[in-house]
Structures are given as structure tokens and as C-alpha cells.
Structure 1
Amino acid sequence: MSMQVIVSQMAELFILLFLGYFLYKIHIIDDNFNNNLNKLVLYVTIPCMVVGNALSITKYASLSTVGYVFLIAIATFLLLPIAGYLIAKMLKVPQQDMGLYVFMTTFSNIGFIGFPVMKSIFGDAAIFYTTVFNMVFNMSVYTYGLYIINMGSEAKIDVTWQKIMSPATYSCILALIVYLAHFHAPHVITHTITTVGDITTPLAMMIIGATLARIPFKTVFDEFRLYPYTILKQLVLPIIAYYLLSSFIKDPLILGVTLICIAMPVGNSAVLFTNLYGGNNELAAKSVFITTIISIITIPIIVALFLA
């Protein structure tokens, strides 16, 4: 495993985050602009990223392997909310933040740091499997993810069919069709869609930085419940998952990808969703920041224990 790859990805993430923080402080980004950036990412750039990934694939696995990985990914995203709920109960999370903690445990940062970290650990062969998990992630986060993040909140999100069948949901369905059909668009189309999708990460991280800029910097580290939460989410949970998964996933590559997906830090979607639909966006931004820092230690530990 190349530690240099992980460290460089984390460094890039934090530079983008602090750029958003700085731009908010000098009033180039304000709350209204930040909310509009949220909508741009959720409704335009993420769909382009999902479809662009599918259009760019050149090596295809067998249909049976695709189905097998999809089933594992679906099972993972169905079981993680249970783990998130148990962790939140153990930490005595306030009722109004219960849904957010379950959401953060379920939807980790597979998209940005997931791909380069998987490649550094397993090589190019892991990219397809990570793409499958990313597809299931997007289909899940825009469907029952809306219900999860709303759990325990006094300000109820009006979950409608229009919200569930969002542009990102349609893009996941389209990406699956594109992959199964082995469809390739003209280069100019694929390149344009991929280019738009590529701005997802910088925009998402600047949104998190701008969200953090709303609160005094010294309070970023005062959410003490996040420290045991991070250890439970990114160390204890993957260790338990390994012993459960290894009993029925015999392919070491699929097992490793699944395990690292579970061990990833909290995803940007926690901040994007709380900004757009309401909720404790300060807690969400703090969780992304802190879990990502600690993942520099926890991911190598998981690899050393089970995947080296």
C-alpha cells in the first residue's frame, strides 16, 4: 500500500476545504451562494460523474461477477444503517442527531478518496468493483438515505417521489444500463460529461469549508462524541465486518474492496444533504473533517491487519 497516495489525497482534500473556508471568510462565498453550489453538485455534477464513470469503463467483468458484486454492495448498504443505529445508541447521541449519525455511518466517502485508495491497495482491478459500490451508494443515498437523515429530526423532510427520483438517481440507472450494454458515446460527449463530473470533488470540499467557516474554528474540534464515533466506525466496525464477510466472500479482491468501503471516512453527502434539506450541518462538516484526518491512521491499520 502506498502511504504517499493516501497522504496526497488527504492533503488535496484539506487544501480544497480550506479554500472554501477562506473564500467564505472574505465574502466571496456567502450562505446563498453556498446553497446554490449544493444544488449544482447534487443535481448536475454528481450525475455527470456517475454517468461519466460508466462511459469511461473499457474492461468489463462477467455478468455473473457484476451481479455478485451488486448483491454484496446492496447488502452492505442495507446492513450499515443497523450498525450506525447501534453505534449512535452506544454513544447516547441526542435524538435530533440520531438520523445524521446513522447516515454518516452508512454513506462513507467512496467517491473521492475511495478510488485512489483502492487503486493504491489493490491496483486497477479494484476500480470496477469500487464503481459498483459507488453506483449502489448513489441509488441508496437518494432513496432511503433521505429517510435515514431525517430520523429523529423535529423538522421533517418532505420525502416525495420527485426527491427520490432525482437527477442523481436517474443517472445511476442510466450508468447501469450503459455498463451492461457496453455502450460508448463519442469522445466529445464522454469527455464533456466527465469534465463536468470532475468538478464535483473541488466544489463539494469548498462547500464543506464554507460550512465550517460559519462557526468559530476553535469549536471544530469540540464535538467530543466524534472521536469515539470515528474509532467505532472506521476501526471496530471494519474489524467486525471482516470476520462476518470473510465467511462467505471468498474472492480476496471483492472482500478487500468491501472492507475498505466500510472503513472510509464520512462522505461529503452528509454536508450536502444537511445544507439542502436542513439538519445539523455544523456537526456534518465537523465529522467529515475529523474522520478524514483520523482515516490516515485507521485505513493503514485495517490494511495491515487483514489485507497486507
Structure 2
Amino acid sequence: MTIFIEVVLPVTLVFLIGFLVQKWRNIDIRTLSTVAIYILTPCLVFRTFYTTPLDMNYAYMVYFSLILLFAIILINKIYAKIRNYSQSLESGLILSTAFMNSGNYGAPIILFAYGTAGFDYAVSLMVLQAIIMNFFGVYYAAKGTDGIMQAIKSVMQMPATYAVILALLLKAFTIEMPSNLFMTIDLIAEATIPMVMVILGMQLAEIKWLGFQWSKIWFGVILRLAISPLIAFFIVLAFPMDPLLAKVLIVSAAMPTAATTAIYAVQFNSEPKLVSSITLITTLISVVTITLLLAILG
């Protein structure tokens, strides 16, 4: 109960605020998302990569993310084959289960649970997951040549990508940023996590409780919230990584479905109702599963 009150409850209350405000005022989420994507997140990403020493743990993070991604995709393909699902339905299930909400859900949970050291790992993972989701997520949503080209274009349009590149260049050439300029970036970066948490709550308010395909939803819920962290546990055992990073990766792997996947599903007509439904249900149930997982990991 202590973990729930001190870690999970504060995060869910911020989501609830966004949810209630959206139900009350019906705000244009796209405007807020644009601010978060093009201003807030790049500042947070730049600050993290500029101030955090990079070591082999970040290489392990890349290996972990790719292994977990392909493991979940493989499980979906086998399940879709057994159930004789269409290509569209298979892609919808992959969108619903292979991409976790490591940004506006995972990062604040990690911050409350493991402090700033864990949060630095969480932000780096958030950037990596965003790149992976913008490539593979778009590919599976579009499933074809146009999907690949759109995926590459999406990655190159991400402001966070250039924030990482700039931060790494400054570190590589040992160029120190003027303190007043860094204070501006730091100030904006501090606003990122609260804003994206509110946006997630608002996104959940837009999902309709209609036409749920419960058999498919429960498959997505179990794979996203239970099997994914279990696979993550075995993956981290294969690498001599920092124990804190191992915990961050396992907890991140247990996060609910990324809300961005619902946008891709709508854009490319890849089972949008199913993807939105799994996004909603995994987010609700994760309040319990994340609490239990944090208690187990300590």
C-alpha cells in the first residue's frame, strides 16, 4: 500500500486531472501535444543527454529494447497465425502490445520510485522507444513500402532526435553551454513530465467505451502487462548492467500501451478501436500491476 500511495497514486491523480479537464472543457489535445513534442520534450532530452555520462549501460538499453520488441512481435505473429487473424488485425495487436508508454507514464513512475538517477535512464529509454515506435510502429500500421518511407520520415521529423544529436556533439567536443542558456533549457525541461502526464489523461478521455472485443483485448493486456516484464526480466539477466537500470527496464516493460499507437492505428486504419481499447484497459489495470511489480523489485 505504501508503494501505491507514494509512487503510483500521485501519477494517476495527474492523469485523472487531465481526464476530468478534457471531459469538462473538451480542449484541443493536438495543440498541447505540439507544445510537448516540439518544445518541452526536446529540452528534457537535451538536458538528460548533455548532463548524463554515457557508458555501456546505454548500449545494453538498445540491445534490450530491440530484443523485447522482436520477442513481442514474434508472439503476436504466432498467435495471429493460430487464430487465423487478418493482416490488419495482426498489425493492430502488434501496435497494442509491442510499444509501451515509457514517456508520459513510465518516466514519472520511475522518477517517484527510483529518483533522479533512475529518471535519467527513463528519459534515455523514452527517446529510444520513441525512435523505435516512430519506425516500427508506423511500419506495422501501414505495412508496406509507404510505411517504411513514412517511418523514416517520422523519425527525422522528431525534434528529440536533433536534441540528442546536439547534446552528444557538445559532449564529444567538450563545448560548455553558457549557464544562462542552460538555465532556460532546464526550466522548460522541468515542465515536460507534468504536461505529458496531463496530456495522457486527456487522451484517455477521448477513448469511447463501445464495441470492445474482449477476447483480443485480454490477449493484449496479458502480453503487455504480464508477459512483457517477464521477458524483460530474462533479457536483463543476459547483460552485466547496472542493477538500477535493470529495474528501470523491467518496470518500463510493464507499462501500458503507448497512446501514440492509437494515432497510428487511426491514421492507417489498422484496427483503431481495438488499439484504443487495449490502450485504455492496460492503462487502468496497470495501476494494480505496476504497484505489485514495484513491490516485488523493491
Shift of 1:136: 0.8
The equivalent of 2:160 in structure 1 is 171
CA contact (8 A) 1:49 1:198 kept: no
- Matched residues in 2 for 1:91 and 1:12: separation? 39
Which 5+ residue runs of structure 2 have no aligned equivalent? none
Q: Does 1:181 align with 2:170?
A: yes
The equivalent of 2:123 in structure 1 is 131
Alignment map for 1:178-257 (pairs within 5 Å):
178-179=167-168, 181-182=170-171, 184=177, 185-192=181-188, 195=191, 199-210=195-206, 212=207, 215=208, 217=209, 219=210, 223-257=214-248
- Matched residues in 2 for 1:110 and 1:205: separation? 15
- Matched residues in 2 for 1:180 and 1:84: separation? 39
Residue type of the partner of 1:191? Answer: L
Residue type of the partner of 1:187? Answer: M
Relative to its length, the structure with more helix (as a share) is 2
Shift of 1:162: 6.9
Q: Does 1:258 align with 2:249?
A: yes
Shift of 1:51: 1.5
Count of equivalent residues: 287
The equivalent of 1:20 in structure 2 is 22
CA contact (8 A) 2:43 2:189 kept: yes
The equivalent of 1:3 in structure 2 is 4
CA contact (8 A) 1:100 1:150 kept: no
Q: Does 1:115 align with 2:107?
A: yes
CA contact (8 A) 1:51 1:174 kept: yes
Shift of 1:297: 1.9
Residue type of the partner of 1:139? Answer: I
- Matched residues in 1 for 2:117 and 2:191: separation? 23
- Matched residues in 1 for 2:40 and 2:10: separation? 21
Q: Give the alignment's TM-score, normalised by structure 1.
A: 0.76
Residues 1:249 and 1:50: Cα distance change in structure 2 (over 3 Å): farther
- Matched residues in 1 for 2:118 and 2:82: separation? 34
Residue type of the partner of 1:85? Answer: K
Residues 1:59 and 1:165: Cα distance change in structure 2 (over 3 Å): closer
The root-mean-square deviation of aligned C-alpha atoms, in Å, is 3.3
The equivalent of 1:270 in structure 2 is 261
Select 1:146's aligned residue among 138, 143, 153.
Answer: 138
Identity among equivalent pairs (%)? 17
Residues 1:61 and 1:190: Cα distance change in structure 2 (over 3 Å): closer
* SS of 1:148 mapped into structure 2: helix
Which 5+ residue runs of structure 1 have no aligned equivalent? none
Residue type of the partner of 2:160? Answer: S
For residues 192-235 of structure 1, the C-alpha deviation after alignment (integer angstroms, 9 at most, x for no partner) is: 5765786444334424422x2xx4x4x36563421243123211
Shift of 1:284: 2.4
CA contact (8 A) 2:134 2:151 kept: no
CA contact (8 A) 1:47 1:172 kept: no
- Matched residues in 2 for 1:274 and 1:177: separation? 32
Residue type of the partner of 2:3? Answer: S
- Matched residues in 2 for 1:284 and 1:227: separation? 12
Residues 1:207 and 1:66: Cα distance change in structure 2 (over 3 Å): closer
- Matched residues in 2 for 1:94 and 1:162: separation? 26
Residues 1:220 and 1:117: Cα distance change in structure 2 (over 3 Å): farther
* SS of 2:104 mapped into structure 1: coil
- Matched residues in 2 for 1:107 and 1:142: separation? 10
Structure 1 stretch 48-57 or stretch 289-298: which is displaced more?
48-57
Residues 1:302 and 1:94: Cα distance change in structure 2 (over 3 Å): farther
- Matched residues in 2 for 1:77 and 1:180: separation? 29
